[in-house]
Structures are given as structure tokens and as C-alpha cells.
DNA sequence: AATGAATGAGGCTTCATTCAT
DNA sequence: AATGAATGAAGCCTCATTCAT
């Protein structure tokens, strides 16, 4: 007997997708387990079969996002070519990826402090490694004299990612700018602000 | 006549202060009314005498922050002097003010979406007016040829305020940089990224 | 200095009137003291100056109604004339009075069981005396052979007053029947059902 | 397999029974959910598993009563036999049923106005249909010349059901009259008051 | 005669989670 | 792999009443 395609999609995946959407829409605390399972078309029992708790669901979402972002950054950072080009490409990519997965991004920055202390620590550590890899690109450029050296690299990264994280607040598909456009602009702004003094 | 200072402070003010601190620390949804009134040393009944609801408390916090920020921005924007200096001063000030009132800032960006739809609309509108005033400074500079014109002013503002809002995530008093230092750096980064070509 | 007429009306009276209206509209338990004082245009302190409690307010309403009904019944019952005429007149009058003071009637039968046990007892006793006076009219007619004797007088009174109390449920001013019309019909129905067997 | 009968009865049914008893005893507003679940021997969570709200509980009680009464009325009204006999039987039956389920009746007329506006409307509509079926019997008799025609049928029904609804106020099992006796008397009173002149 | 801030108890409801099946 | 009844703790809010002024 052939089953419907919708039902075919693994339950676990459906739960993650719907949870992400709902957490992005109304926040972790304001989303009930009941709403999640209803949206995924299963019962609570099913959810607790795949996930240890509501917290665990959030943890899994974080894991997925972190793995993907780190992978992409590594690809761009480890490529060949001038440092300015590599940083530009990496910056542009993280913006486009964020725009393409806006729900993930919203959940990430709105609900991070709802994680349990232990999980929170793990996520922070993963996130720090990501930031450090990005910062190293800035430092590389500063050492090579391609970027100005009178600004703390760490702070520049926080500055830039603040702008990236905030995309979820104002970007809407169908707005005046597309993801790639914003990506190019953001990368331009970053690179220009790092340009050495004339 | 004069009694203990802590007890002297009006109940309403004490409630606002403690609520801000707690919302910043653990989020709006994860803070119970019971915790707020306990921290303020009053009973629930007292809180509901001054505020219509937990939501209303949050709304009042927003009102206070918005009024203060708009006031300061207006002062810097309407001052005399070259546009680049005025924008630099305004940018520097908003960073310093944010750092000095980090709890306000944390609450603002973490809990905004927990407001009721009606109140949310009002706050968004207030916030938009603030952004527009800031954006007008950028446009003024672009028209005058002081800033490069090939980047959307609106987006630049979103870029910059993303960085500002994100301060609550990584800034800690006693860290390597002081508020004024970060303020100068952020303003520098903004101005440089707007510097005209060649 | 001439004060407004509305303000001129005694506070106590205004409180009773508004309380009656609100209790009739939404019931005793669902009406808050705050709503009553707001409707009367005074503050809680004023209410507690005139009445010992919310219960006391209800008690006063009952007292007023009971006194008036007993007075009117006595007038009709003690008049001269044939018993059938006196009962008819009394029955007609209680219907018209009920219709004219529908709020009083609604409060009476909807909120009686919200009185404190002690007050409840007093009201029941008063009410019983009223019923007994009415019942005595029926008995008088039965003894005189004017009314059929094969039906318990007590029950006839309960039967009739059930119909009267229920007026608040269906009667609306401006409906197909006026108060006097309903009064005549109800009295007719009562008298006919008591007519001796042909 | 068979355990204690009390525990055996389904939770949902037990909740309805106890709620009916308590609402009849002290009114809807004065009965707390805590009291209901305690009487039924379950927890609040269990109640909210079966009923959406305290209001919903009341609504279900109304539904049960309305369905039963309509069913019985239809049986008597649609039977064969002279109209006078059918009306007498229906009137007698509603009295006996009311006496047998006095709690239902008390709840019905004391707490109806505590329903939410939407549910209230539904219940009123159901109730109206019941009244109309009863009224049609009166009209049938009037058209056939068996009942006097100079009295509005609608009002007669309101008159009679006022008396029926009021039973909960004065009837007590073990009193001087039994349910069937009151049923016969009430039906007699109704039929006599409708007897044609001469 | 009247105010209004403050109390404290209690009300309805929501929710993550468990467990027998 | 999945159900769904049931739990129990906690959450937000309402309210009659008091009291210093």
C-alpha cells in the first residue's frame, strides 16, 4: 500500500522543522509541546520517543545550525586566494545562508538563553570556535598589512555578527533587497571599514 | 522623616527596576510575576495596582528606553557642525548609552516579540521613527557627497544597529574594552565604511 | 455653588441602584465591588462607609423588595370585596410590580443563595410570611366554596409564584404584551385553574 | 477485572455528576474547579483533559439536560390520542422528570447566565425549540376548540414553565407531595386554566 | 465623608512529562 | 514505534477588604 508523501517524511525530521518554525515565530517559552506535535501531525508520545525533552529539541536545532555554519566557514577560509577575497566571500556567504535559513537564525539568537546551563555552555563553546576562525581571518589580514591594525579583531567580528544576527529582525523575503545583494553590501561594508588608512 | 533609602524609593519605580533586571537575566517568559514582586519587596496586589499586567510592565520598560534614546539622538542630530561629526557623535553616544544600560538593551531585543500584538505595533512604530532619524543623517551625508552613495542608507542603519543591539551578548563591564572605547571604535567603523571612494 | 443634579442624588441610593442593575445583569458573584463603585461614580472607600460589605449591599436590596411587596399584598388582601376579586387583584398587582421592577426580581431569584447563611434565613422567613398571606387567600376561597378544594393551596401558590419569578427570564419591555396585560392574563389563569368543578 | 464501582465509573462521567451536584448546591460562580475535582477524586489536569474549561463543563451539563427533555417531549407530543391528553401527559412528565433530576434543573436556571455569550446563544436556541414544540400543542388545542383561544399560547407556556423551573426552589423529596402527585396537579392546573368557557 | 495604596487568599488555566498499553 | 490519559507544579490575575490620611 502506497502511503502519502507527507507521511513519508521521517517523523523526527518533521518535528525538527515544525519546532524551528514555531520557535522562530513565537519563541521557545511560548511554544508548547502540544503545538509542535500538532503541527507535525503526531502525538506527544512520538515526540518523547525521538527527543528526551523540549530542551533536547532545541539543542538539536542548535547542533544542526552550528555544524552547517562551521562547515561553510571552513570551506571559504581554507580556500586559496588573497585574504581580502576569502574574508569577503566568507562574510557574504554567512549573510546569504542566514537569509536562506532565517528561522534557524531567529531561534538561535532569541532562545539561546533558554537552554539548560550545561547545553548552553556547549553551544557557547562551539559558537566561540566559529568566531575565532572568523577572527583569525581578520588577524591574518592585519598581519599582512592588508587590513588596518588599529582596531581589535575580536571586536570587529562581534560588530559584524551583530549585524548578521539582526537580519532576522528586519529582513523579509520580497523586500527591496535580495539575500545576495545584502550579502555583497555587508561584505563590502566590512572590508571597507578594515581598509588601511590612505 | 527620612527612612531607609531602599524602602523610600517609590514602589512603582522599584518594580520597574527589578523587572528590567530579571527580564534581562532570564527573559520575559521565564520570569514569574512572583519573582518580580519578591525582588521588589512588595506583594502581587501592589504590582497589579500600578500595572495592568505583566505585559504592561514590559511595555513601560520599552517606553522609558525609547524616550531616552530618541531624546539623545535628537540632541546630537540637531546640533551644529559637519554631518560626519554629528553622525559620529550620535553613533558613539548610542553605544555608550547601551553599554551603560545593558539590562534595558537586553530586554529590548530579547523580549520584544513577547509583547501583545497591539503594544508590539506601537513599539515598532516608535522604533522605526528612531531609525528614520538616524537614517536621515546618513542620507544627508550622501547628498552632500561626504558619504559614498552606492549603499542603501536604510540598510546601513540596520547594519549598524544590529551591531549595537548585539552588545548585550558579548560586552561585560571589566572586559578588555570600556564603553567609550567601543563607542569610538564602532563610530569609526561606521564612518569608514561610508567614506567615499578614492 | 450649585452642584449637578446627578451628584445631588444621595451616594447611598446611587450605590443601591447601580448594584441592583449590575447584579441583575451579570449576577452577584460576577459583579465586582470595583464595577459597582465605578458605575455609581464613587470610590471603594465611600461604599464601605455606607455598607458593611458586598453581602450587606445585597441584603439591603432584598429588604427593600420584601418590604414593598408585603405592603402591597396586604393592601389588596385586606381590602373589602369578594375573595375572588381580592385574589385576582393581588395576583395582577404582583405581576405588574415585578415587571416594573424587573431588575429587583432578577436579583432576587438569581442571587438569593449567595447570601450568608444567617441573612439567607431571615430573607427566607420574610418570604415565607409573604407566601403564607397569599396562601391564606386561596384557603379562604376554598373554605367559602368559591375555589375548588381538591388542590393543595400551598402548592398553588408555589405554582403561581414560579410563573411570576420567571418573568425576568422572558419579559422584555416593548415585547408583544404589556405589564398590565400579562398581569390580567396571569390572574385569569390562576383564577380559572381554581374554579370549582362545573 | 471488576474493581470498586465508584472508581470504575469513567472519569468524565464522575466529573459531570459531581459538578452538577455542586453547581446546584452553591451555584456555578461559587464552586471552584478545585472543589469539583476533589469531589470526583481526580486532579485538575484530568478535568482539563476532558473539558476545555469550567464553562465547557457547564455547557455539557446543559446539553445532556436539553437532549433528554426534548426526547421525552417529542415522545409524548407525537403520540396518538386527543390533544388534551397528550398535553396533560407531556406536562405531567416534565414535572416528574424535573423532580427526579432536581440538580439538573437547579443548575439550569440558576447558572444559565454565566455561560459565555456564544454558548449562551446556543443553549437559548435549543431551549426555544423545546418551548416551541410545547407551544404548538397548545395552539393545536386552541385551533381544535378544545382549549380557550383568548390567551396567548406563548405566554401560557412561559407561565407553566416558570412554575416547573421553580420546583427546585421549594420541592424536597420526603415533603408532603411526591413527584407524580405534583405532576398530576400541575398538569391539571394547566389543563383547567385552558378549559374553554361555558 | 471619602481616598487610594496595599494586602493576601484564592481562582482558572497551562504545561512538560510520565506510564500503562 | 506510538498512544493518550493523567499528574502536579506553577503561572497570571482578580477581588473583597483594610488602613492611614
CATH code of B160's domain:
1.10.357.10
Looking at residue A5, its pLDDT comes to 38
Residue at grid coordinates 450605590? C15
**Inter-residue contact A20 to A61 (CB < 8 Å):** yes
Give distance CA D49 / C1' F3 (Å).
15
Contact B188 A151 (CB under 8 A): yes
DSSP class of residue C106 equals H
Residue C85 pLDDT more than 60? Answer: yes
Most confidently predicted of B149-158, C6-15, D52-61: B149-158
Contact flag, residue B185 CB and nucleic strand F, below 7 A: no
Assigned domain for D9 exists: yes
Give distance CA B64 / C1' F18 (Å).
34
Residues 7-46/A with CB within 7 Å of nucleic chain F are: 11, 42-46
Residue A6 pLDDT more than 50? Answer: no
Residues of C within an 8 Å Cβ radius of D: 26-27, 29-30, 109-110, 113-114, 151-152, 154-156, 158-167, 169-170, 176-177, 182, 185-186, 188-190, 192-193, 195
Assigned domain for B32 exists: yes
Give distance CA D46 / C1' E17 (Å).
14
Q: Which domain holds residue D15?
A: 1-51
| Same domain membership, residue D144 and residue D64 | yes
| Same domain membership, residue B158 and residue B147 | yes
Average the pLDDT over A77-82 and give the result.
95
| Same domain membership, residue B155 and residue B65 | yes
For a pLDDT cut of 70, what percent of chain B falls above it?
95
Local structure of C71: helix, strand or coil: helix
| Same domain membership, residue D178 and residue D98 | yes
Q: Which of C35, C51, C67 is the last residue of a domain?
A: C51
Residue C9 pLDDT more than 80? Answer: no
**Cα separation of B36 and B43, whole Å?**
9
Residue C79 pLDDT more than 60? Answer: yes
| Same domain membership, residue B73 and residue B30 | no
Assigned domain for C198 exists: no
DSSP class of residue D42 equals S
Assigned domain for D26 exists: yes
Contact C166 D161 (CB under 8 A): yes
List bases in chain F with any atom under 7 Å of a protein Cβ. 1-20
Return contacts of A134-137, CB within 8 angstroms, 24+ apart: A134/A73, A134/A77, A134/A90, A134/A161, A136/A77, A137/A77, A137/A83, A137/A86, A137/A87, A137/A90
Average the pLDDT over A175-187 and give the result.
97
Contact D189 C113 (CB under 8 A): no
Assigned domain for A133 exists: yes
| Same domain membership, residue B65 and residue B46 | no
| Same domain membership, residue D138 and residue D45 | no
Looking at residue D100, its pLDDT comes to 95
pLDDT digits 0-9 by tens, B2-39: 333 344 578 899 999 999 999 999 999 999 999 999 99
**Inter-residue contact B160 to A193 (CB < 8 Å):** no
- At residue A9 the predicted structure's pLDDT band, cuts being 50, 70 and 90, is confident
Q: Which of A11, A27, A51 is the last residue of a domain?
A: A51
pLDDT digits 0-9 by tens, D158-195: 999 999 999 999 999 999 999 999 999 999 999 999 99
Contact D162 C158 (CB under 8 A): no
Average the pLDDT over C9-31 and give the result.
91
Assign residue D11 the CATH number of its domain.
1.10.10.60
Looking at residue C5, its pLDDT comes to 38
Looking at residue C160, its pLDDT comes to 98
Tally of structural domains, chain C:
2
Residue D94 pLDDT more than 60? Answer: yes
| Same domain membership, residue B78 and residue B7 | no
Assigned domain for A198 exists: no
Contact B114 A30 (CB under 8 A): yes
Give distance CA D21 / C1' E20 (Å).
32
Q: Which residue of A has its CA nearest to B109?
A: A110
**Cα separation of C168 and C24, whole Å?**
9
DSSP class of residue A79 equals S
| Same domain membership, residue C128 and residue C100 | yes
Give distance CA B2 / C1' E10 (Å).
37
Helical segments of chain A, H only: 5-8, 11-26, 33-40, 44-50, 54-77, 83-100, 102-111, 117-143, 153-165, 167-170, 179-193
Average the pLDDT over D7-26 and give the result.
87
Measured CA to C1', the nucleotide nearest A34 is E15
The set of cell numbers assigned to B90 is: 550620535
For a pLDDT cut of 90, what percent of chain B falls above it?
83
Q: Which residues of B touch A164 (CB under 8 A)?
A: 162
Looking at residue A10, its pLDDT comes to 85
Q: Which of D33, D51, D69 is the last residue of a domain?
A: D51
Polymer length in residues for chain B: 198
pLDDT digits 0-9 by tens, C22-47: 999 999 999 999 999 999 999 998 99
| Same domain membership, residue A98 and residue A112 | yes
| Same domain membership, residue D82 and residue D38 | no
| Same domain membership, residue B171 and residue B97 | yes
C112-121, C132-141, D13-22: segment of lowest average pLDDT: C112-121
Please name which of D109, D124, D186 lies closest in space to residue C109, comparing C-alpha atoms.
D109
Assigned domain for A67 exists: yes
Residue A8 pLDDT more than 80? Answer: no
**Cα separation of A182 and A148, whole Å?**
24
The set of cell numbers assigned to B195 is: 567614506
Assigned domain for D198 exists: no
Average the pLDDT over C88-113 and give the result.
94
Looking at residue B10, its pLDDT comes to 86
Contact D152 C193 (CB under 8 A): no
CB pairs under 8 A between C and D: 91
The set of cell numbers assigned to A80 is: 586559496
**Cα separation of C59 and C112, whole Å?**
9
Return contacts of C46-51, CB within 8 angstroms, 24+ apart: C46/C11, C46/C15, C47/C15, C50/C11, C50/C12, C50/C15, C51/C15
Selected residue of D28, D147, D159 to mutate for chain C interface (largest C Cβ count, 10 A): D159
**Cα separation of D195 and D164, whole Å?**
20
Residue at grid coordinates 500600578? B50
Amino acid at each position: 500500500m502506497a502511503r502519502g508523501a507527507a507521511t513519508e517524511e521521517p517523523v523526527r525530521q518533521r518535528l525538527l522543522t515544525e519546532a524551528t518554525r514555531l520557535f522562530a515565530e513565537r519563541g521557545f517559552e511560548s511554544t508548547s509541546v502540544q503545538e509542535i506535535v500538532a503541527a507535525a501531525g503526531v502525538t506527544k508520545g512520538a515526540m518523547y520517543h525521538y527527543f528526551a525533552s523540549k530542551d533536547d529539541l532545541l539543542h538539536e536545532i542548535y547542533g544542526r545550525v552550528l555544524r552547517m555554519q562551521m562547515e561553510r566557514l571552513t570551506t571559504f577560509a581554507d580556500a586559496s586566494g588573497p585574504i581580502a577575497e576569502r574574508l569577503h566571500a566568507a562574510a557574504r556567504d554567512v549573510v546569504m545562508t542566514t537569509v536562506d535559513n532565517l528561522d534557524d537564525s531567529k531561534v538561535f539568537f532569541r532562545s539561546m538563553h533558554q537552554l539548560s546551563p550545561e547545553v548552553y555552555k556547549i553551544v557557547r563553546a562551539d559558537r566561540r570556535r566559529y568566531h575565532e576562525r572568523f577572527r583569525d581571518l581578520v588577524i591574518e589580514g592585519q598581519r599582512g598589512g592588508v587590513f588596518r591594525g588599529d582596531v581589535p579583531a575580536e571586536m570587529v567580528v562581534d560588530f559584524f555578527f551583530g549585524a548578521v544576527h539582526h537580519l532576522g529582525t528586519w529582513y523579509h523575503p520580497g523586500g527591496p533587497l535580495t539575500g545576495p545583494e545584502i550579502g555583497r553590501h555587508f561584505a563590502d561594508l566590512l572590508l571597507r571599514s578594515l581598509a588601511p588608512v590612505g
